Each structure stands twice: as structure tokens, then as C-alpha cells.
Amino acid sequence: MNDGDEPMELVVVGHGPTGHRLVEALRERDTARSWRVTVIGEETRPAYDRVALTSYLTEDADLACPPHDEGVELLTGDPVVAVDRAARQVRTASGREVCYDALVLATGSAPFVPPVPGHDLPGVFVYRTIDDLDALRTHCANLTTSSARAGGVVVGGGLLGLEAARALQGLGVATNVVEVAPWLMPRQLDEGGGAMLRRHIEALDMKVHAGTPIAGLEAGADGSVARVALSDGSAIEAGVVVFSAGIRPRDALARECGLPVGERGGIVVDAACRTEDPAIYAIGECALVGGQVYGLVAPCFSMAEVVADGLLALSAGGAGQARFEGADLSTKLKLMGVDVASFGDPFAGPDQGALDVTYTDPVAGIYKKLIVSDDARTLLGGVLVGDAESYPTLRAYVGGQLPGSPEQALFGGTESAGGDMPGATVICSCNNVSAETIRCAIRDEGLTDVPGIKSCTKAGSTCGSCVPLAKKILDAELTAAGIEVSRALCEHFEHSRAELFDIVRVRGIRTFTELIEQHGRGRGCDICKPAVASILASLGNGHILEGEQAALQDTNDHFLANLQKNGTYSVVPRVPGGEITPEKLIVIGEVAREFGLYLKITGAQRLDLFGARVEQLPRIWKRLVEAGFESGHAYGKALRTVKSCVGSTWCRYGVQDSVAMAIKLELRYRGLRAPHKLKSAVSGCARECAEAQGKDFGIIATEKGWNLYVAGNGGMRPRHADLFATDLDDATLVRYIDRFLMFYIRTADRLQRTATWLEGLEGGLDYLREVVVDDRLGICAELDAAMDRHVGSYSDEWRDTLEDPAKLSRFVSFVNAPDTPDPSIAFEPERDQMKPVLVTGPRLEVAAR
């Protein structure tokens, strides 16, 4: 320890997420600045989020962790090569020597590459760092553009392997996954869960080879990898191979300076994460704690917190009290759009006095398994594949008594209200935050929202899966304190969106001004104006650009088109059910060619024309309207599409005419304004090619009629739809959908998808059935009439705009030069189409709208 008042010297070797977390935790607590911190990283870039590596490859995401404050010296691109324990000094590759009072090894892990023949051939990669990914991307670009071997193999079917497979497929490479275990993700999933995950993966056009180790890699004529030989004698043609078959602790520095390491690797540390040398700690994937190496974010971060506590105590002349006593290895993942979760001990069996309760739905692709005690009261663990909505609640009950039966737990019947959650229950496993910690923060700090909880406790700030539970605890605490949990739309209205909908409906209010004068205050904002505009449109208040309504719309609705990143717009004509005549298809091609637009087939069976300048929009619509097209409402919180497969008309498996039904529904609900966008699909058989169970309302054909699913969605928070009714005839199906949609429009909050609306609906799916089918509230006649009014009053917004000079006058870039295009918009060719480029320099501000 240093003498005097000088700060002590801390050296952190390794600047990955764990090393970064340690420094942040220490700086937050060390208000006296008793430690001077030097961080030495091997990579040339500072710490970044390794968990999200695939998003860097597929979306060019910025993964950088927040920078440290000025009191931290960061050295990058200069790895430590030696530790002198006697002198308490480290030496870097460049020869720099740095002294320490305490040293923390956070060197992480290295990918394991099996020593099979050919593992070092050109075209073979690992999946660990950004540099690895950059090299992989460059190789795949050359591979696919040269039309040479277009296949790829990922060796390893665990979490990282499947992430690598998704990335490889995203780079245009036909992908195979080879896993030595009999099923995918064997460390997290049981055989049933692994089998269900395999179904999902193979449905994405990937091939899975499980239970078959690789025998070696073979080179082609150019010397790079050309095929992968398997142990069963078969081979896979491959121009790229990615090894993601596990990790090994990077413990070389510890070995070389004489610190004990485990038989299979890992720097041996005690519960305080301290090595045999009291001045040296090890944390993260390089540390061996209690005979185990941890590779998940949560335990690594917990080790960082333990060491931060110890260092702070050391600087004060004491000993830290924090201990790492193991970790919750529960995890929730999204792999290629599939929810996968495991919690507790998913492998406990009868020998441990455990029973399992399992639910499998092969059609929906759902597998759920709970492990409970032999009296079926204590939750021990579980596996969820395809539907992990109940994961936060179930994980919180591991080791405790379920408030209901295992069957209720499987289907969401044990959802906690927040107030009855045991205080010791870990809500946020990433940051080890308990329910009681959140409750205390709410009470002591006067917290009233989730951002406050994140800032004060870090709960929900890492993966975010615990945010719903944190919000329930917050609401329960506020309610218990006699504080009303506000559902106000914004500062200008005390009412919720659903309450405002009823006010407008019952009192016949026709304008925003009338509504805010009578039931609000101020002039409104960008929250309440579009919400009220949607309510007025839902109740049939005329064209959205009519009079005062035009000023309420957001940018997309304001111009009846989707604003793009370079200031242009995309135009999406409606193509009901994905069915289109050759004549109409030719017109779309002609329009794209005439106006120089980028043309893309979307995932929703539509054609999207990008790059339209605002002054071009009316001329584009005119061509399309003359050809029989109308607005596809891609810009609005309204019905987008009703997808379909080809159904019984063409498909040998189809049992009903899915195309006809999709067209019928899309034409019925087109233009229907709602709290959020609406998507639908119709599948002609149980093979589910239209992906109906991922939609706000989805229909699957049966031999006897139609099965109706509701409240599903894709996107950032995917949710499988719930089965609402079975074997419906056409008339009953349409009647139920009418009522479901109108009840949702009437009662949902602003920007609330049907999935979250149903989750928050008291009584859930059963209550919804009572309202829609049994008319429990006595409003079905009103809902039917409201839908009839919508269908009867529908008019195409594009055509209406073209027929009104006042509406057309807004479609100019410059009011004083209506025919002048915006000079800041420019394009360049790519793949025989155009793409936007940014133009620097001054804009015509004086003439801008």
C-alpha cells in the first residue's frame, strides 16, 4: 500500500465488458478518489458489447461501452506480456512498465478451435472480436460475389454458434450448423427444447447436423477451405468455416507468473475473486471460482462488483465484505427471431426429487417445461422455446413456492402483481438487483418511473428482460403509498387514450381544438396530437388532411408516405393478399423506372418504391391510382397487410382458400386507424407458411373452417398470438375479428400493440372472449355498427388528395419554388438501382418550407 495521501495504483489488464464494469463500479463508489486507475487493453478499440456482436455485422450497430471519466488512463493496442509479482509491476508488448498496488486480470477467454486437420486453412474464422467479424465479412463478400463456393459451416450449436450462423446467413451464405451433442444448445436446453429450436432453425433454411463431430477440413484448388468432412463419412461443401465450439480461459499471464490455475484452465480465485497473491484479482471468463468458469454476462459483472467493494475497503485499510457465491445462470435469448430461455436447474430429474410438467405445440413451435419439486409446489427450473413471455416471472420464483399450479405457471396464470414478490427474489440477474432493493429505492428516492429505477439500481439497464417486473413493483409500491398511478396521455390531458376515445365517441367531438378546450389544457404536443388524430380517424372524421386534422399528423401521415433517412419518401401501394396481375406489376415497374425509384419486395408481400421526392408523390400516386392501386397505408397506424400463402388453389397441402380470405379481410379493414399498426396473415393449412401466429390477428385453415389467433406480433418484442377460437365459418370469423379490432381501438393506450394490450387486459384472453363472443359488456352491437360504418365510408386517401387542390398544395419542397427539387437529396447507383448519398454544403434555408 502507498504511504501518505497519494492515491493507490490499480491496473486492470483487459478492457472487455467485465473490465469496463469493474472500473465503472469502482469510480461510482470511490468518491474520495483513493485509486488511480490504469486500464490496459489488447485490442485497439475500447470496450464494446460482445453480446451484441451479430448486430455489428448485420446492422453496423455501435457497440461501444460508455467512455470512462478523465481520471482513468486507458491504454489500447498494447497487451500486457508479463507480470512481476515481486516488483508489483506489469510490462506491455511495447516495453512500457506500469506499477500497481492492486492488479485485476480481466483477460477474458479465447475461442476453442478443435485441433482437427485443416483448422488453420484460409477461409476458417472464429467469432469473438470485431476484428474477427470484419475479416469474416470481407471474406464472405468476396465469396458470394465470385459465385464460387457459396456454402458455409458453423462448428458449434451453442449460443455463440447460432449467433454466428445467423450472421453468416445474413452475409448471403447458405449456412450449416454442426454440433457434436445430440441437440442444439445442450448446456441450456433439454432434448425437447433443443429439438424444438432445431425446427425453428431449419425453417430458416439452415441445415443442422447434430450428434456428428467434424473429422477435418479439406482445401480446394486455391488452397483455402473447400469442404468439411464429418465423422459419419459425409462432407459439406463450404467456402467459409466459423469455429464457435466454446471458449477457454485466457490464463497465460497467471501461469507465467506462478499463480495457480485450474486443471482445465482458469485463474484460481476465492469468493472475493482474489488469487493466491493478495494483490492480484481475476474476474470474468478468465477466473475459476469455486471450480467453475462463468461465460455469461451476469456472473462476470457480479465478480466486478465484488472486486470493486474489496478495492474500496482496501484503500481504507480494511477488507471487503462482498463475496461471489455463485450465480444465477438463467438466461433469455433471441436466436434468429426465436425466444429461448432457461432458468434454475433445467436438468433436475427424479433422482433429485423433481417432476417435470411439459407442454409442446409443434404447429406453433412452442416448447415449455417446468421442473418442480415432488409436491409440485416449488419451482426448480425450466426451459422455454418459442414463447418466453413468462420468463421474468418464472425466473423470479425459482427456489420459491409457486402461487398457483405448474399448469397455471406455464400459461401465465402466476403473473405477480409486484407487491407480493418475495424481497430476496432477484429481479435483475444481470446486475444482481433484488425486489427489495428496487422497493427501497422507490421509497427512499421517491422514484416514480422505470428510468428512475434503472438509474438508481441498474435493474433493467443491461438486457432489459426484467423491466416488466420492475414496472409492476413500481406500480404496486406507488399504489400502496396511496399515490395514484397515472394513466394520463400527456401533460395536456389527464385522461388515458381509451378514456379520450370514449369522450370523443359519446360527445360527438369532431376537432382537436374542441377536445382540448373542453377536456384538456394548453395547445397540445407531439404525443397527444397524433393520438387524437388517430381517434378522430378511427371514428370516421373524414380525410386525415382535412382542415385542422392535417396539422395533427406526424411526418408520415402528413405526406401519406414513409419518410426515409435522406429526406425522400417511400410509396407502398396496397396489394391485397399479395395477389397482383401482370398488368399491375408492369405499372409498378414503369413507375419505378420513370421516377428513378429504388424497388424492393418487402417481407409482407408488397412492393416498396423508395426515393420519391415530396413534389413527386402526387404524380406517382396518379399513375398508380389510374392503374387501380390505392394507398397501402404503410405510413399510418392502421392496417398494413394481410399476408397469405397460395392456399388450396395451388398448394397440395392447402385445405382452404387462404388468398381469397386474405383479400376479403384486407379490403374490409383497409384504412382502419388504430392505436398502433395492425398486421395479419392467413395460412391455408397448419404448415403456417404465412406466419399467421406472429400477427395482430392471424387465421389458419382447418378441415372444418378457420382457427383465429389474436395479439401476436414480430419486431423488437415478438409474441406468439393466442388461439382465440377454432373451426369458424367465414361469417363468424369476420364477426369476431370485427369486434376484436373495434374493442382494441376503443380501449388500447397510445402506441400500444395488440400484444401488450392483451397482456394488460384484466382477465386476459378469457375476458376478451367473453366480450367478443358472449357480449359480456353488451357492446357487441356497437362494435359491429362501428365496423360497418368504417367499411361503408372507406375512401382511398391518395385518390382523395389528388382530387383536392388544397391538399395537393402541401406537396412541395420549397413554397416559393414548387417545381424545384431539394438539392440536398442525391443518389448513386448500386446493384443496378439507386441508393441515397448525403450531400454536404449549404441548403436553401431561405426557401425552405
pLDDT of residue 616: 87
Rounded CA separation 368/356 (Å): 10
pLDDT of residue 663: 94
540: amino acid identity, one letter: G
Overall number of domains in the chain:
7
pLDDT of residue 551: 64
Identify whether 116 is part of a domain: no
Q: Are strands 214-219 and 225-230 parallel, antiparallel or unpaired?
A: antiparallel
**Taking the chain (849 residues) in consecutive chunks of 10 residues, what is each chunk's mean pLDDT?**
72 95 91 93 90 75 83 93 96 96 96 92 92 90 57 90 86 90 89 90 89 91 90 91 92 96 94 95 95 87 92 86 80 74 85 84 83 86 84 78 73 53 71 84 84 82 68 82 73 83 87 87 78 85 71 69 74 86 91 86 82 87 92 88 90 90 95 92 92 94 95 78 95 97 92 87 91 94 94 91 83 63 72 66 28
510 and 544, same domain (yes or no): yes
- Name the grid cell of 492: 395536456
pLDDT of residue 525: 72
Structural domain range at position 802:
554-631+798-849
Coil, strand or helix: which one is 254?
helix
Structure pTM? Answer: 0.54
The DSSP annotation for 485-497 comes to ----SBTTBSS-H
pLDDT of residue 685: 92
Coil, strand or helix: which one is 805?
helix
648 and 740, same domain (yes or no): yes
759 and 669, same domain (yes or no): yes
Rounded CA separation 576/632 (Å): 9
Q: Which of 395, 496, 108 is nearest to 266 (CA)?
A: 108
Task: Show Cβ contacts of residue 347 under 8 Å, excluding neighbours closer than 6 positions.
Answer: 190, 371, 381
663 and 760, same domain (yes or no): yes
End-to-end CA, the chain: 67
777 and 672, same domain (yes or no): yes
Of the three residues 396, 413, 430, the one that is the final residue of a domain is 413
Rounded CA separation 232/195 (Å): 21
674 and 786, same domain (yes or no): yes
CB atoms within 10 A of CB 679: 23
pLDDT of residue 23: 95
Left (φ > 0), alpha (ψ -120 to 50) or beta: where does 162 sit?
Answer: alpha
681 and 805, same domain (yes or no): no
Please state, in angstroms and as integers, the Cα–Cα distance from residue 795 to each residue in 173, 579, 630, following that order. 45, 21, 9
pLDDT of residue 845: 28
**350 DSSP assignment:** G
Coil, strand or helix: which one is 137?
helix
pLDDT of residue 707: 96
202 and 232, same domain (yes or no): yes
354 and 462, same domain (yes or no): no
653: domain CATH number is 3.30.413.10
The DSSP annotation for 263-283 comes to TTS-EEE-TTSB-SSTTEEE-
668 and 746, same domain (yes or no): yes
16: domain CATH number is 3.50.50.60
Of the three residues 413, 430, 462, the one that is the final residue of a domain is 413
657 and 776, same domain (yes or no): yes
The CB-based long-range contact list for 137-145 (8 Å cut-off, 24+ gap) reads 137/57, 137/171, 139/240, 140/168, 140/171, 140/172, 140/173, 140/240, 141/171, 143/173, 143/239, 143/240, 144/171, 144/172, 144/173
pLDDT of residue 497: 85
709 and 789, same domain (yes or no): yes
401: domain CATH number is 3.30.390.30
Among residues of the chain, what percentage have pLDDT more than 90? 39
Identify whether 488 is part of a domain: no
